[in-house]
Amino acid sequence: MFSDTHFHLAYLAEQGVDLPQVFRQLAERNCAFALDIGTKCDDLPHRLTLAERIIQEAGDAKNRAALMLHFSAGIWPGVDAIQDRAAQTAALKSHVSAELSQVCAVGECGLDHHWNPGGADGRNENDFDAQIIRGEAELFETQLELARAFEFPVIVHSRDAFDGTFSCIKNLSYDNGVIHCFSYGIDEARAFLERGWYISFSGGITYTKKSRLEDMKKLLAFVPKDRLLLETDAPYLSPVPFRGAMNTPVLVEQVYRFASDLLQIDAETLSDLVDRNADKLFCQFFDKKNAD
């Protein structure tokens, strides 16, 4: 119950989070699916090693933890990655090929034009001249091509960059994946949905002001129930009432309860819907590979 379709194990470990305990808690509530997300071309081996340690230290929950835990691999659009995109995408392809049975998606990858030099991402508009903007799109499109080659779904990061993101997706015509941590409106959701994409909401939706609750309710209701996912993006975006505290996949329950209140369905029903959607998008291909 209460699957988390997007979090970052390595970043949680760097913050000193007791990850075996996190997975014991997830196992206690029968979590079906937990997806650890890649952001660097070469982070997959480290993340797999970390996951193995977590599983072994999860005690009686280790079998359940091993079943629920899945992995993506991708390159987040930082300036250094954009500038070194040819070498980094080659490295990503090599790591995915070497660990093919462990990976179920490409990403997160995409475009980010949220300028906040003082923030965790250090996004500075002055760093993004026309050449870097073109390189960012190329880095994204190359990963879309990689996903197509492996027949993987794609986990798309798109922040303040709808037009560019949609243009890249349209250019490649590979419509298989999810727009994670969705931060746009109904018109943008419609554009992605019409091409077959899933939409995922994070703890950020719990920050919605009272004056915007009706808009958020309409947005959530607009997304078809068979195309909806929920996530934490841990360690980021801790949901209310834990905003400002460390976020972990355990807190995804708060996202489900907030969304279920707006959708006027119970959280357990919503959990079942998301589990089916996650299985359809990610796990069927993962299970097929294991059967081959």
DSSP string, 145-193: HHHHHHT--EEEEEES-HHHHHHHHHHHT---EEE-S--S-HHHHHHHH
pLDDT in tens, 62-112: 999 999 999 999 999 999 999 999 999 999 999 999 999 999 999 999 999
Q: What local confidence, expressed as pLDDT, does residue 290 receive?
A: 52
pLDDT in tens, 254-292: 999 999 999 999 999 999 999 999 999 998 655 654 554
Q: What local confidence, expressed as pLDDT, does residue 287 receive?
A: 60
Residue 6 pLDDT level (bands cut at 50, 70, 90): very high
Residue 128 pLDDT level (bands cut at 50, 70, 90): confident
- Domain residue extents for the chain: 4-291
Determine contact, residues 179/200, Cβ cutoff 8 Å. Answer: yes
- What are phi and psi for residue 185, nearest 5 degrees? -110, -165
CATH 3.10.310.30 applies to domain 4-291: no
Q: Starting at the edge strand that comes first in sequence, how are the strands of the sheet with 34-36 ordered?
A: 4-7, 34-36, 69-73, 103-112, 154-159, 177-179, 198-201, 228-230
The span from the CA of 5 to the CA of 26, in Å, is: 13
Determine contact, residues 197/166, Cβ cutoff 8 Å. Answer: no
Residue 41 pLDDT level (bands cut at 50, 70, 90): very high
Within its chain, how far is the Cα of 12 from the centroid?
Answer: 15
Any idea how long the chain is? Answer: 292
pLDDT in tens, 177-208: 999 999 999 999 999 999 999 999 999 999 99
Determine contact, residues 216/237, Cβ cutoff 8 Å. Answer: no
Determine contact, residues 103/96, Cβ cutoff 8 Å. Answer: yes
Does position 20 have pLDDT exceeding 60, yes or no? Answer: yes
- Percent of the chain with pLDDT strictly greater than 70: 95
Does position 172 have pLDDT exceeding 70, yes or no? Answer: yes
Please state the pTM of the whole predicted model. 0.95
Q: What local confidence, expressed as pLDDT, does residue 263 receive?
A: 98
Residue 13 pLDDT level (bands cut at 50, 70, 90): very high
Nearest alpha-carbon partner for 66 in 56, 76, 74, 75:
56
Nearest alpha-carbon partner for 204 in 222, 190, 220, 189:
220
pLDDT in tens, 47-73: 999 999 999 999 999 999 999 999 999
Q: What local confidence, expressed as pLDDT, does residue 291 receive?
A: 52
DSSP 56-91: HTTGGGHHHHHHHEEEEE-----HHHHHTHHHHHHH
